[in-house]
């Protein structure tokens, strides 16, 4: 493929964008904890990093600003250059100090803003038929970006921490310039004259309409507060935060259904085009949104529930840390990327709806492999030699689980992009992805109790059943996909091919 042809490929730019999105996250989760520990920082202080990572959960709060001012590529360039400046600062002043917390907090805020701009741009840039393959590439290049950041640790003995941060800064500058060179986003519809004051005044006149949006936002914020509560020692409240958040979201769903049954009408001209809450209200007022929201919360429940329990199961089955690292993590990473690519390709060929339910079944069925192994083989304890047939079966179950998880994720992300209104792409996608993170956290939290009380075999079997309720909501999913607006404003950027 010639250079000119490559630059005209939408998939090429998707790869560039999601490498740029994954790299900062890799710096945060892979590089900073290692540097801190090597500086002698206490584990409790290193754990405080997770509090700073809340910006990725709460990014939907300022996503409307990106939608309102648009110019996604400029957002990407500016935040990447600012993150590079922070890396240069860490390179020059690599010794730990109180100022570093502020620098890292700013870094996470910028990275989350970069995510908003990239996700919003990508939804606008692509057409619906490309979402499958694009999300397969997204999964792969996002992981490559994270691995590249982690790879900087390999050169640390040669260049020191100063060199690591200088290299990170250079990569961020290249990423920012590359994102700015991406094709322009399609022209936006004429801006509404509605101001924040206008939309707030209209909402206050109809509090019953405002309630679902408030409950939805409050639920996500309560969920995000779980980490700081845990760090402050309020462990009981921290453990309850996911359940409280889920309860608020359920109340939002019920209030939305109540409004619809009462045929509550809203003045869409004053709300849908509002710069602050317009996207949230438009989503909650959309037909089929609430059953589809339940589908989003439950579609990946089967693999989310067992996700945090798989590694403890390996340990209790007698596998060493080295075996777990090589097979379950390294090979599993490659297979999950491959699954994402195959799942994306398949979704583009058969359509989002068919890809969603077919590939979703594969990720549910894969749980039965672990259920069977836990049922037929004993759990000898930590680092105990296992028979060869048990090793082969465990490795096979891990390979199937990783690959099918990638299959389901590729189709699921394509679905999320398909139902987003391109006019509010950044905000709506940020909200939906936050819902997905909420469901994953609640499922992982509940999974620990399930595995402990039921045992691995029964718990893994039960997790298979957790994936089935989402299929009861498929009629509404189909209706939502069929109702997606295909007017010219939702078309992909012209002049570029897949």
In whole angstroms, give the CA distance from residue 190 to residue 375.
Answer: 61
* pLDDT given at position 452: 84
CATH 1.20.1250.20 corresponds to the domain 289-486:
yes
Q: How far is CA 172 from CA 137, 179, 219, 382, in A?
A: 20, 10, 34, 42
In whole angstroms, give the CA distance from residue 88 to residue 478.
Answer: 49
Residue of 127, 177, 178 lying closest to 493 (CA atoms): 127
Q: How far is CA 255 from CA 214, 215, 264, 427, in A?
A: 11, 9, 11, 22
CATH topology of domain 3-180: Growth Hormone; Chain: A; (1.20.1250)
**Residues 114, 75: contact at Cβ < 8 Å?**
yes
**Residues 105, 52: contact at Cβ < 8 Å?**
yes
Q: DSSP assignment of 298-337, as one string? A: HTTHHHHHHHTTHHHHHHHTT--HHHIIIIIIIIHHHHHH
* pLDDT given at position 89: 92
Q: What is the pLDDT along the chain (498 residues), one digit of tens a residue?
A: 555 666 678 889 999 999 999 999 989 888 888 888 777 777 666 666 766 777 887 888 888 888 778 789 999 999 999 999 999 999 988 666 667 888 888 999 999 999 999 998 998 888 878 888 888 889 889 988 988 888 888 888 899 889 999 999 999 999 999 999 999 887 766 555 566 566 666 666 666 666 776 777 777 677 766 666 665 666 677 777 777 877 887 787 777 666 666 655 555 555 666 556 667 767 767 778 888 888 988 898 888 888 778 878 887 888 776 777 676 556 777 888 889 889 988 998 888 899 999 999 998 998 899 899 888 887 766 556 677 888 888 888 888 988 998 898 888 988 988 888 877 788 888 888 877 777 776 777 678 788 888 888 899 999 899 889 999 999 999 988 887 755 444 555 544 455
Classify residue 70 as left (phi > 0), alpha (psi -120 to 50) or beta: left
Q: DSSP assignment of 191-214, as one string? A: PP---HHHHHHHHHH-HHHHHHHH
The pTM (predicted TM-score) of the whole model is 0.76
In whole angstroms, give the CA distance from residue 274 to residue 359.
Answer: 37
Residue of 216, 212, 208, 205 lying closest to 264 (CA atoms): 208
* pLDDT given at position 165: 94
Tokens of 111: 């990275």
**Residues 28, 53: contact at Cβ < 8 Å?**
yes
Quick: pLDDT tens for 34-70: 888 777 777 666 666 766 777 887 888 888 888 778 7
For the CA atoms of 338, 341, 343, 347, what is the dihedral angle to 10 degrees? -170
In whole angstroms, give the CA distance from residue 429 to residue 21.
Answer: 15
């Amino acid at each position: 493929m010639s250079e000119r042809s490559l630059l005209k490929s939408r998939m090429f730019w998707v790869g560039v964008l999601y490498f740029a999105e994954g790299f900062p996250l890799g710096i945060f989760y892979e590089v900073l904890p290692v540097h801190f520990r090597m500086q002698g920082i206490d584990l409790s202080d290193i754990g405080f990093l997770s509090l700073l990572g809340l910006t990725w959960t709460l990014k939907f709060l300022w996503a409307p600003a990106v939608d309102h001012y648009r110019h996604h590529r400029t957002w990407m360039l500016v935040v990447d250059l600012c993150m590079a400046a922070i890396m240069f600062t860490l390179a020059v002043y690599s010794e730990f100090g109180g100022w570093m917390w502020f620098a890292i907090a700013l870094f996470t805020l910028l990275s989350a803003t970069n995510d908003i701009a990239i996700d919003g741009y990508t939804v606008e840039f692509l057409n619906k038929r490309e979402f499958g393959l694009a999300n397969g590439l997204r999964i792969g290049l996002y992981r490559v970006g994270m691995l590249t950041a982690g790879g900087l640790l390999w050169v640390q003995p040669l260049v020191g921490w100063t060199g690591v941060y200088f290299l990170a800064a250079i990569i961020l500058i290249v990423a920012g310039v590359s994102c700015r060179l991406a094709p322009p986003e399609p022209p936006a519809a004429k801006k509404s004259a509605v101001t924040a004051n206008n939309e707030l005044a209209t909402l206050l006149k109809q509090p019953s309409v405002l309630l679902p949006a408030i409950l939805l936002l409050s639920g996500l914020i309560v969920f995000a507060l779980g980490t700081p509560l845990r760090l402050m020692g309020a462990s009981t409240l921290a453990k309850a935060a996911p359940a409280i958040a889920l309860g608020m979201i359920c109340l939002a769903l019920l209030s939305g259904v109540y409004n619809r049954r009462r045929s509550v009408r809203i003045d869409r001209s004053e709300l849908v085009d509002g710069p602050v809450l317009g996207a949230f209200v438009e989503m909650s007022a959309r037909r089929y949104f609430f059953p589809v929201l339940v589908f989003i919360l439950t579609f990946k429940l089967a693999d989310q529930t067992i996700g945090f329990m798989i590694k403890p199961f390996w340990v209790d089955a007698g596998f060493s840390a080295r075996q777990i690292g090589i097979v379950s993590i390294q090979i599993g990473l490659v297979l999950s990327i491959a699954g994402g690519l195959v799942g994306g390709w398949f979704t583009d060929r058969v359509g989002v709806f068919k890809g969603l339910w077919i590939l979703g079944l594969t990720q549910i069925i894969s749980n039965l492999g672990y259920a069977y192994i836990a049922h037929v083989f004993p759990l000898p304890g930590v680092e105990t030699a296992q028979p060869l047939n048990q090793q082969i079966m465990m490795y096979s179950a891990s390979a199937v689980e990783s690959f099918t998880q990638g299959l389901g994720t590729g189709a699921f992300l394509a679905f999320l992009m398909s139902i987003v209104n391109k006019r509010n792409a950044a905000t709506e996608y940020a909200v939906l992805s936050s819902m997905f993170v909420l469901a994953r956290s609640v499922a992982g939290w509940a999974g620990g109790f399930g595995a402990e009380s039921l045992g691995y075999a029964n718990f893994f079997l039960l997790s298979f059943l957790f994936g089935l309720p989402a299929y009861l909501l498929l009629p509404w999913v189909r209706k939502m996909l069929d109702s997606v607006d295909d007017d010219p404003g939702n078309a992909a950027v012209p002049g570029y091919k897949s």
